Structure 1
Amino acid sequence: MGEGKDWAALQCEKIILGKEFWQKATELCKVHEPLVRVLRLVDGDEKPTMSFIYEAIDRAKLAIKRDCRYYTEYWKIIETRWSFQLHQDLHAARYFLNPQFQYGVISSNEMIREVMDGLKKVITRLEPNMDAQVKATNQLLLFRDKQETFGTPLVQRAWKQSNPVEWWIIHGSCAPELQKIAVKSQPYEDEE
């Protein structure tokens, strides 16, 4: 081995045995692990709807925020890709109006704002009547807060076992304007 190769080997050894190298490697693993989970979901045999991917991305971001010191740098990269290629207002509406996510998942405040903005745009797009838009928007609280029939034990148990469209058709009658929006915005099982 020549003198140059010995020097290069020593430099590599110094880097690899250094504390900073392993801290960065650990940080990168903490970033990549949640993202790999999202990729597994997308690449699985059963193709998920965008609302499931939406929720998986949110979970990944929260895990990165929880586990990484410099999470904002990673979030910027994820957000750039998400915003310009994957995120659509309709996906946000589907996410919010899917009872599996509304009642079964805790979202970040940042995501709630993003979802609500997209949802309001979809309501405006799908419902041309301004009075019906206002009613649908007001009915969001009934759905979110499990009021009226949304809070009954049957309805709360059914969301775990039902397709979102069928759930809304059967259980959404206490919020007819929102029911109409929810049914129009949710995909059926074979869509997407």
Structure 2
Amino acid sequence: MIFHGSVDCTNKKKIAGFILSLLNKFIDEIGDENIVHVVTDSESANKAAGQKLMIERPHLFWSPCAAHCIDLMLEDIGKMSKEYNNTSKGRKCAEKIAAIILDTRFWKTARDICAAMEPLVKVLKLVDQDNTPTLSIIYEEMDRAKLSMKESEEVEDITGYLNTLKSKWSKYGCTIMCDGWSTRNKHHIINFMIYYDCNMIFHGSVDCTNKKKIAGFILSLLNKFIDEIGDENIVHMVTDSESANKAAGQKLMIERPHLFWSPCAAHCIDLMLEDMGTYVYTDEVKRGLNAVVKRLEPDLNSQASTISEIKLFTEQMGEFGSPLAKTSVKKSLPAEWWNDYGE
């Protein structure tokens, strides 16, 4: 950036026509063919001159100074809080001032103002300096500032929503549900959810990649999250039915007699279906299956139809015997496989 020239406008009326004549004068001096962009502050006369300039010289772009725009925005924001300005300056009663400062609404408003102004101040500091050109980054930085303010509002909304939910924990009681899973990079994560009054929210997670999943470790995790949520708010704990989790759940009920622990029903059923998939269809199993069918279905025709359909599965007839079904049975959950090939 270099200095080109200056004009003393002391006794001149800063109207659009005068500003436009100055812009044209300097454009002609520098060379119309060398210029692509003109920047002024955002006063009304400058704005009108800039608009006319783009009409007269269609290949040029005009824009207001980013620093000046942000400065005006901050000034307008400062004028919005008349209540607190008048309170701090006009009222001399210390008790009333103290009451306002101690009011949570005051600090919420202050937090909202900071959340709105901080991104703008950062952009203002960035563009209001002469070390490096900022034209190439100003639009991106303003977009980031808008996004930051929007995210701040969303966080505030979510925080308020969560506080509303938490206020119901003591009334309805909570169930803590935990579930483990492995990431693509083989990290083992345990998530903790809170269920109450037909609602469920995520509370936290723990990376247990290099931890031994023994009963003592699982019990320490359960106690940690119980203390965070509040022992008085919890009535029930749910984990999967692995041996370490089962032992931890049993110990937890001894340490905290008012709590109940139970294994995850979905995990139990999944294990049952996996075990059923390993059964050998022996004569004893056949007799037992026939007895169940006879007991549940009194109609002989329906009994015969049921046994015939079971034969399709046990002898891998029809779609059950296709190469795709045989391959998928090793890669799909039992319920998913049956839904794909069992109808």
* Interval containing the TM-score (normalised by the shorter chain): 0.3 to 0.5
Greater fraction helix: 1
TM-score of the superposed pair, with normalisation by structure 2: 0.20
* CA radius of gyration, larger in: 2
TM-score of the superposed pair, with normalisation by structure 1: 0.34
Greater fraction strand: 2
User: Larger relative contact order (C-alpha < 8 A, sep ≥ 6)?
Assistant: 1
